[in-house]
Amino acid sequence: MSEPEVVQLIVGSVEAGMRLDQFLVSVATSVSDEDPMYGLTRSYLQKLIAGGFILVNGLPAKASCKLKPNDTIFVTIPAPEPLDLVPESMSLDILFEDEHLVVVNKPAGLVVHPGAGHAHGTLVHGLLAHCTDLSGIGGKQRPGIVHRLDRDTSGTLVVAKHDLAHIRLVEAFKNRQIIKIYDGIVIGSPTPPVGRFDSPIERHATDRKRFTSKTGRGKPSITEYKTLKRGSGLTHLEFNLLTGRTHQIRVHVSDAGYPLLGDTTYGRRSYSPTEPLRSIIGSVTRHALHARRLQFQHPILDILLCCEAPLPPDLLAILTAM
């Protein structure tokens, strides 16, 4: 088992007066990628502070502690916890893979990582059987996971195989350096046919499983859309996701009055199609959203990757019948 890393830091006159957590974040964002502090997030550093892994002049300190010149800080970075997941063989649609990362076309209905009610049969279980070498930064339940797709959303998803790739991919997502294109089928005809939703998203006040963009509060969230096809009371939209909030597309289109077809969480608008579309829609058991394309700079190699997952048969059938 690998040993924890211990880093010693001395507070200079320029950093004097900073909060402890602010100082640590400034270090993590300025050191080279060979430094153990490289890429550690504010939330992770705050967990280390709360857990007593960070000492100021030999004593535990709060995140809000104001630093003084020549304060000595020791940061203990625990070794990654060993995975306790059992690999499970499953068929995976691999769009790209090398020693640094793997991009998969996730089918609808497959949960990305273990959680409440999903202890087995997740994409992580299948990936561990496929490649065995996923980044440990995500923790025991989320090894290699950089971003997620909802269970019923199909399409492209990138997973890191080692920690440096993980850190750089997370940075790229955070800095909006990754192009994320989605296909969706909504009820109704959004106007104008090309536009954007620019409204912050936060968790719903009374239903903790849902999110909303109607309060004017929350995190900035931007979704661009373009109409590709209209017919039978439905519209095929292409989405360019400029931010990455939970349920972002689903919330934006629903709050605008054009919910995704089949979205049982956010789809309140009634829709009564005629045959044969009624039978086709009746056989689809998920919301009509597909992550078609991921385009990004490879985190290690100096190449541009563009990974695209074709529309799955269930959504193609709906589009054909529209």
Map tokens 């199609």 to a residue: 273
Q: How far apart are the first and last CA of the chain?
A: 57
Long-range residue pairs from 218-222, CB within 8 A, at least 24 positions apart, any chain: 218/245, 219/243, 219/245, 221/197, 221/245, 221/248, 221/251, 221/252, 222/196, 222/197, 222/198
Among 21, 71, 150, 263, the one annotated catalytic? 150
Residue 150 falls in the annotated catalytic set: yes
Inter-helix orientation angle 20-28/42-50, to 10°: 130
Three-state SS at 154: strand
From residue 66, how far is each of 19, 112, 114, 224 by CA, in Å? 5, 40, 39, 42
Residue 154: half-sphere exposure toward Cβ, Cα within 13 Å: 24
Give the residue numbers annotated as catalytic, written as ranges: 150
